[in-house]
């Protein structure tokens, strides 16, 4: 179990380090940077690379919403859910601390939003609470469906990390202008720790939204797309 938790810690660390590091140090550097497309690309590549690196150890969740969705879909043991969540949240928080330490070495550094998620005045496009909640649920739910389908035995072997990484990239392209694209409570908590714009007061939405989306995606897969699937018969259900 310890190896699985270390894998989740390092995988979530890499994902959050990639997203926050790109957003804080490369998105607008120095006056022209990679922009939000680059941030989305960093998120997708981070998940893709770590899925190949440690996915065989822990399953490559790197996200509490993914762990919940997989448990509901019957792909993950419920007794391991809380330990995975702890490893993921700690991994994200450590990544945020490292990014903060590095970024603070630049002259005139201010943490500002620290790539945090938000609605209303804290939304990049000033979208409402409802808009941000809906997009977090929909994007996370669709992300879970991609994960479950790509990792089914009925899918081509060896390509799951590519599909999952690309799905996360697309989700960020859609979600960054609205909510700054969470889809991941560990990533949202990591940002909010160091944000100075009040993101912590809105953190509930970026925990509830992704968890609800993950649960919905797992439920849709289990009941509509692959009814009767169990860990023993994955890919055999028609």
CATH number at residue 208: 1.20.1080.10
* Domain around 35: 2-225
**Predicted pLDDT of residue 121:** 95
Taking all residues of the chain, what is their mean pLDDT, rounded to a whole number? Answer: 92
DSSP code for 159 = -
| Higher pLDDT among residues 226 and 44, named by residue | 44
* Residue 149 within a domain: yes
* Residue 236 within a domain: no
Backbone torsions φ then ψ of 153, nearest 5 degrees: -65, -20
Mean pLDDT for 197-226 is: 95
Number of domains in the chain: 1
| Higher pLDDT among residues 232 and 14, named by residue | 14
* Residue 186 within a domain: yes
Backbone torsions φ then ψ of 204, nearest 5 degrees: -55, -40
Sign of CA dihedral 133, 174, 82, 203: negative
Percent of the chain exceeding pLDDT 90 equals 83
* Residue 231 within a domain: no
* Residue 233 within a domain: no
* Residue 230 within a domain: no
């Amino acid at each position: 179990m310890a190896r699985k938790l270390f894998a989740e810690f390092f995988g979530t660390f890499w994902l959050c380090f990639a997203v926050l590091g790109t957003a804080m140090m490369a998105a607008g550097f120095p006056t022209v940077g990679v922009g939000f497309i680059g941030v989305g690309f960093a998120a997708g590549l981070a998940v893709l690379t770590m899925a190949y690196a440690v996915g065989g150890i822990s399953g490559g969740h790197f996200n509490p919403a993914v762990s919940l969705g997989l448990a509901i879909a019957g792909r993950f043991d419920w007794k391991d859910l809380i330990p995975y969540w702890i490893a993921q949240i700690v991994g994200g928080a450590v990544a945020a601390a490292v990014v903060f330490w590095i970024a603070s070495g630049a002259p005139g550094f201010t943490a500002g939003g620290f790539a945090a998620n938000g609605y209303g005045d804290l939304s990049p496009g000033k979208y409402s609470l409802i808009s941000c909640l809906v997009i977090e649920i929909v994007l996370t739910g669709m992300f879970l469906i991609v994960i479950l389908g790509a990792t089914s035995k009925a899918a081509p072997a060896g390509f799951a990390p590519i599909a999952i990484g690309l799905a996360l990239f697309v989700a960020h392209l859609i979600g960054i202008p609205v909510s700054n694209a969470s889809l991941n409570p560990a990533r949202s908590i990591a940002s909010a720790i160091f944000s100075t714009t009040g993101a912590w007061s809105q953190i509930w939405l970026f925990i509830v939204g992704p968890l609800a989306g993950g649960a919905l995606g797992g439920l849709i897969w289990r009941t509509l797309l692959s009814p009767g699937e169990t860990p023993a018969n994955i890919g055999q259900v028609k």
